[in-house]
Amino acid sequence: MSAKETNSTKKEMSLIWALIPLLAMIICMIFAVVYMGQGPHIPLIVGTSVAALVAWKHGFKWKEIEEMMYKGIKLALPAVVIIILVGLTIGAWIGGGVVATMIYYGLKIITPALFLVTITVICGIVSLAIGSSWSTMGTIGVAGMGIGLSMGIPAPIIAGAVISGAYFGDKMSPLSDTTNLAAGLTGTDLFEHIRHMLYTTIPGLLISLTVYGILGYQYRGSKIDQESIQQTISMLNQSFVISPWLLLIPLVVIVLVAKKVPAIPALVIGILLGFLSQVFIQGGSVAAAVGTLQGGFVLKTGNVMVDELFNRGGLDSMMYTVSMTIVAMTFGGILEYSGMLQSIVKQILKAAKSAGTLVASTIVACFTTNATCSEQYISIVVPARMFSKAYTDMGLHSKNLSRALEDGGTLTSVFIPWNTCGVFILGTLGVGAFEYAPYAILNFVVPILSIVYAMTGFTIQKLTEVEIQRKEDTVQV
C-alpha cells in the first residue's frame, strides 16, 4: 500500500500537530547553527524523528513512515546527480586552467573610477565560473575589501558590491548547489530554471551596477593599490597556462544551454573538456586529472588567497550538500506524505488566491525560513515541498516556483545576521548584516521585482494542457 493510499485512510492532521516537527527543527537549528556553529544535518534529523513520532501518533505504521522518507529522497535524486556532476565540473575547470583564465582577465579590467562596478562584475564572473558565492567572497571579496578601503571607500559599500556580484554568479551558475537544488526539488530543467531567472536577475544586476556607478563616482580620483592585483596575476601565470582559448570551454557549455541541451550531457561535455585541458594544456598527468575529479584540485603557492580559491572542486566536495539534501528530504517526505504540509499550506494558501499572492507567499516563506532555520539550503528545501502542489493546482509551471525559491531564499539569506551566510560574511569581510544590507542591492531588488512580476503576470508561465496531463499521469503512477 502506498503512502498516498495510506494517508487517505487517516484523519486530517491538525495545524498544531503539523507545526510541532517544524518548531522542533527550528529550535534545534538555532542552537546548533547559531550558538554552536554546527551544520544543519543534526537539527534536520531531529526534525525528522519528531515528524515520525507525530505520524506514528496519528496511526501511521513504521513501514509507512519509512516509505514516506524514501519517496522524499527519490524526489531529490535528480538534484543529487546534478550536484555530483557540478563537483566534477568545478574540479575539471580549475585543473584545466579555465577558472584561472577567467579570473586573470577579470582582474585586468579594474579601474579606480568604476571600482564598485568592476568588483561587482569580477565577483559575478568568478562566482559564475565556480558556482560558489562563499568561495568568491572569501577570496576575491577579501582582496576587493582591501583594495577598496585603500581608496577610501566605506567598508559596508564595498561589502554590498562584493555580495551582489557573488550572489549574482551563484544564483545564475549551473555549477551552484542552490541553483541545482531549486531546479531539482521542483522538477524543473536546470537550464530552463536559469533562463527563467534571467527576467528578474538581469534587471536586478543592471539596477545594482547603476547605483554602484553613482556611489563610486565620488572616488574616481583615488589611486588603486596595484601590488596585490599584480601579485595575484603573477601567481596565476606561474601556476597555470593562461590562454583566451580556454574561455571556449565555458562558451561551449553556454552554447549547449542556448540549444536547450539537457543539463547532464551539457555538464558531462564541460567536464570532459576541462579534463582534457588539464592533461594536454596544463601538462598534468592523467592520474592527476582523475584525482582532481575525485578529490578536487590541489595547489600550493604560498599565497593564501590563491590557494583558498583553487583548492576545491571534485566529487568529494559535494558530499556535504548531497548528505544535507538526503536528510532534508527525509524530513520533507514525512511532512508531505503524512498530511502535515498540506495542513500548514492550507492555512497559508487561504491568502493566496492568485499567482501574485502565491509567489509573494513563497518568497515570504523563504525569507522566514532563512530567519528561523538560519540556513540557506533549508530556505529552498522546505518551501519547495510546501508549495509545489499549490503551483500545479493553480496551473503554474514549476519554473515559477524554482525562481521564487532562489529570489526569496538564496538571495535573502545574507540579511539575517544569525544565518550561516550572514555569519560567514561577517567573519570573512568584517562587516555585519545590518551595515551592508542597504548596499547589497541585488539581494533585495530581485525579490521585489519577482513579486511585482507575479502581481502583474509578467513572465509568469502557465502550464500547457499537455504538461498538466503529464503531471496528472505522473501522480497516478
Number of H-type helices and E-type strands within the chain: 25, 0
Q: What is the average pLDDT across 307-311?
A: 78
Nine cell digits for residue 47: 526534525
- 161 vs 267, which has greater pLDDT? 161
Specify whether the CB–CB gap between 430 and 154 falls below 8 A. no
At 325, the pLDDT band (50, 70, 90 cuts) reads confident
Beta bridge pairs of residue 347: none
Write out 109-178 in H/E/C secondary structure: CCCHHHHHHHHHHHHHHHHHHHCCHHHHHHHHHHHHHHHHHHCCCCHHHHHHHHHHHHHHHHHHCCCCHH
Return d(Cα 240, Cα 251) in angstroms, integer.
Answer: 20
**pLDDT, tens digit (0-9, with 9 covering 90-100), for 208-240:** 999 999 998 887 666 666 676 778 788 889 999
Which cell goes with 261? 541541451
Reported as a single tens digit per residue, the pLDDT across 111-147 is 667 889 999 998 998 888 778 788 788 767 877 786 7
Q: How confident is the model at residue 1 (pLDDT cuts 50, 70, 90)?
A: very low
What kind and span of H or E run contains 312? none
Strand, coil or helix: what is 1?
Answer: coil
Listed range (22-26, 45-49, 415-419) with the worst mean pLDDT: 415-419
Give me the pLDDT at residue 381, please.
Answer: 83
Question: Higher-confidence residue: 111 or 279?
Answer: 279
- pLDDT band at residue 467 using 50, 70 and 90 as cut-offs: low
Digit-coded pLDDT (tens) for 148-191: 776 778 889 999 999 999 999 999 988 888 898 899 889 899 99
Q: What is the DSSP annotation of 360-395?
A: HHHHHHHHHHHHHH--HHHHHHHHHHHHHHHHHHTT
Weakest-pLDDT range from 7-16, 102-111, 290-299: 7-16
Exposure pattern of 185-223 as b/e (b: 16+ CB <10 Å)? bbbbbbbbbbbbbebbbeebbebbbebbeebbeebeebe
Given this model, what pLDDT does residue 205 score?
A: 97
Nearest to 404 by CA among 188, 124, 86: 188
Give yes or no for residue 407 having a pLDDT over 70: yes
Tell me which of 144-148, 220-224, 283-287, 401-405 is least confident: 220-224
Residues near 54 by Cβ (< 8 Å), separated by ≥ 6? Answer: 13, 17, 18, 20, 21, 338, 340
More confident residue, 374 or 315: 315
Which whole number is the average pLDDT over 368-391? 81
Note the pLDDT of residue 226: 66
* Calpha distance 80→72 (Å, rounded): 13
Above 80 in pLDDT, residue 423? Answer: no
What is the mean predicted confidence (pLDDT) over 87-109? Answer: 84
pTM for the model: 0.69
Query: 302, exposed or middle or buried, with CB in 10 Å at 0-12, 13-18, 19+?
Result: exposed
- Kindly state the average pLDDT of the residues 326-348: 81
pLDDT tens digits, one per residue of 192-214: 999 999 999 999 999 999 999 99
- Rounded to an integer, the average pLDDT of 81-95 is 84
Q: Is the pLDDT of residue 475 over 70?
A: no
Q: In this structure, are residues 201 and 168 in contact, taking their beta carbons and an 8 Å threshold?
A: yes
Decide if pLDDT at 390 tops 90: no
pLDDT band at residue 353 using 50, 70 and 90 as cut-offs: confident
Which segment of 226-230, 367-371, 412-416 scores lowest on mean pLDDT? 226-230
Q: Give the chain's largest Cα–Cα span.
A: 73
Residues 322-336, mean pLDDT to the nearest whole number: 81
pLDDT of 406 > 90? The answer is yes
Residue 81: closest CA among 70, 89, 69: 89
* pLDDT at residue number 8: 46
Top-confidence residue, 141 or 460: 460
